[in-house]
A and B are shown apart, each in its own frame.
Chain A
Amino acid sequence: MQLLRTFLMRLATTAVTLAGVAIIVFFVIRVVPGNPIAMMLPPGATEADVARLTALYGLDKSIPSQFLIWVQGVLGGDFGTSITTRQPVLDLVLGRLPATLELSIMALVIAVILGGAAALIGTRGRGTRREGAIDVANGMALSVPDFLWGLILILLFGVLWPVFHISGRVTPSLELPFTTGFYLFESLARLRFDLWLDIVSHMLLPALALCIPLAAIIGQLLKQSLKETMHLDYVTLSRTKGYGENHVILREALPNAVLPTLTLVGVQFTFLIGGTVIIERLFSYEGLGNLAIDAVINRDLPLIQGIVLLFAAIFTGVNLLVDLTYAALNPRLRHG
């Protein structure tokens, strides 16, 4: 009941947030210099050509009336037509969304596994050289940004020791039997492990580049809260019950230590999704981020608006999910 009310409240604020994002992005991209029409026409086009095209895309109208037309369309599910590709924005964006979602989720899963393992190993060996090694690795991982990790990984595993693909989402010559854009999941569902391996081999390096900073943050924060929890009375008491240290850490300390980390992971995951823009470019990965960069270069106004709105929707969705998980994990919150 409490959970449902939280959910509805958050849904309402989400709508307000998205409306704000829509307004800001719409006006900002019209204020910055750059004209989509100029990008489309060949050199030597006449004034009349420019005027005709401008009218065709409705760009001759005042900005507020353009906004009203766009909002009306969006509310009816029509996000407009891309100026460069002349395809509906919604189709373009939804076509690329699965690729980016798969990449982000893969990065998140790897980050949780790596960061969690680092935190547990560091806690298990606290006060020893093992904890020191974990701290050093965390610090290094944190101080290098994701795109630099991308370059390092390309150099290491794409050039010096070429074991992984460094470009694209799947080997182009392969026949793809897929009906959805979720290649990674669909190849598993269809038991096409050959395709799955090829896709993973393409995704692994960009996912790693995206996840390394997040993994370090998870490792550091979780280790810190685990260490604090390990001093608490109920943890000490469980040691007198005959449990081994692993059980004490995993069963008694971890469920209580994980909450602050969970909140942080939610916030950081949205940064990670933001990071896909550059990482996808770096690895020529056909996702939303790559599409966004093309859209900005071409001043494809409707497409930029559509992508930004979708990113905003994903961010608020992730935050909502984190809040709900938090309430579900913490019995003291559940009872209000």
Chain B
Amino acid sequence: MPFLQVSNLSLRIIGETPRLLRSVSLSVGAGEVRALVGESGAGKSMIGKAILGILPRAVEVVEGEVWLDGQNLLAMPPMARRRIIGAKAALIPQDPLTALNPSRRIGPQITDRLVHILGWDRARAESRALALLEEVQITDPARVMRAYPHELSGGMRQRILIASAFAAEPKLIVADEPTTALDVTVQKQILRLIKGMQERHGTALLFVTHDLGVVSKVCQSLSVLYAGMVVEDAPVRDFFAAPRHAYSRALLAATPKYTDPEGSLTPVPQTVMDAVRAEVAAADGVWHG
């Protein structure tokens, strides 16, 4: 079994009929980098949240399983699930400006889990944090450890969050659109940084994004999500050569290209949207106009 296996996962808002996710299956093998692509509202982030056990309280699992390193997470008591996730997985969040606790210094925000949960002594945790901050190319890591989040730039904070995600040597990292909130000039550096860290540490990565350009550079395989359904699951090379699903083809055609900045923007055609909606309706047994 792959390191992460999501099988037939369906989610809905408690008390409502439409599904947020519809029988989603995807897997990430050890060391694999998989992209999870889709437009806003397709449910990409929900998959990440379901894997990490941080679904909003209003969302419930209708059916399906999430297996992490051979353990069925959804069948576990909540606290045991959190321990497993904390030890084996980590999140690189979307918005670095809100993902650090404003009233605590950076150092403890990285080291606390190593000390409290993994039982390291404080000195070892601190030297680990320093090494990681250096690895994400932060100058003067000792000073940054003592700083508060508001004293640092967005790019710095995202580097810190990346370092923090790798702190406990997780086997899987979910990166939830980690460059969306950043300046375009910083985006590339952060992307390269995540890729480099992933390769050095041999971590599996589930890269949630809506940017196909990023996918081609960073990922090996991808799942395309539309309206809560996985419409295509393929190796990245095959996908870019010959996308099989009509929506994937349309999505690829809609991606702006650096080589042809003018006039190549094609929106996803209405016929394709209708076809996908029909598929969704068939899966649900109801029609969502």
Contact = CB atoms under 8 A, between A and B. Distances in A.
A330 B149 CA distance: 12
Interface string B107-132: 00000110011000000000000000
Chain A CB within 10 Å, residue with most, of B54, B87, B101, B151 = B101
Given A239-B53, A331-B148, A233 B82 contact: no
B100 A234 contact: yes
B52 interface: yes
Contacts of B89: 240
A329 interface: yes
B94 to A, nearest CB: 8
B83 A242 contact: yes
A252 interface: yes
A216 B145 CA distance: 39
B54 A233 contact: no
B181 to A, nearest CB: 11
Contacts of A252: 101
B117 A240 contact: no
A240 B103 contact: no
B54 A240 contact: yes
Contact of A240 (B52, B101, B104): B52
Interface residues on B, range: 20 to 34
Contacts of A251: 112
Interface residues of A, number: 24
B154 interface: no
A244 B82 contact: yes
A241 B113 contact: yes
A331 B85 contact: no
Given A233-B95, A236-B54, A242 B117 contact: yes
B200 interface: no
B149 to A, nearest CB: 9
Given A240-B86, A242-B87, A243-B86, A256 B54 contact: no
A258 to B, nearest CB: 9
Contacts, number: 70
B141 to A, nearest CB: 19
A255 B103 contact: yes
Nearest to B103: A255
A332 interface: yes
Contacts of A242: 82-83, 85-87, 113, 117
Given A329-B103, A332-B148, A237 B117 contact: no
A241 B117 contact: yes
Nearest to B109: A234
A127 interface: yes
Interface string B134-166: 000000000000001011000000000100000
Contacts of B90: 240-241
A9 interface: no
A254 B280 CA distance: 43
A127 B98 contact: no
Interface string B165-207: 0001000000000000000000000000000000000000000
A45 interface: no
B99 interface: yes
Nearest to A126: B57
B93 interface: yes
Nearest to A258: B103
Given A234-B98, A241-B117, A255 B104 contact: yes
> Which 6 A-B pairs give the minimum distances between C-beta atoms?
A242-B86, A233-B98, A233-B99, A241-B113, A234-B101, A331-B148
Given A242-B113, A251-B112, A255-B104, 9 more contacts: A239-B82, A240-B91, A241-B113, A241-B117, A242-B87, A255-B101, A255-B103, A332-B102, A332-B148
Interface of A: 126-127, 232-234, 236-244, 247, 251-252, 255-256, 329-332, 335
15 contacts: A126-B57, A232-B98, A233-B95, A234-B100, A237-B93, A237-B161, A238-B101, A239-B52, A240-B53, A241-B117, A243-B113, A243-B116, A252-B101, A256-B102, A256-B103
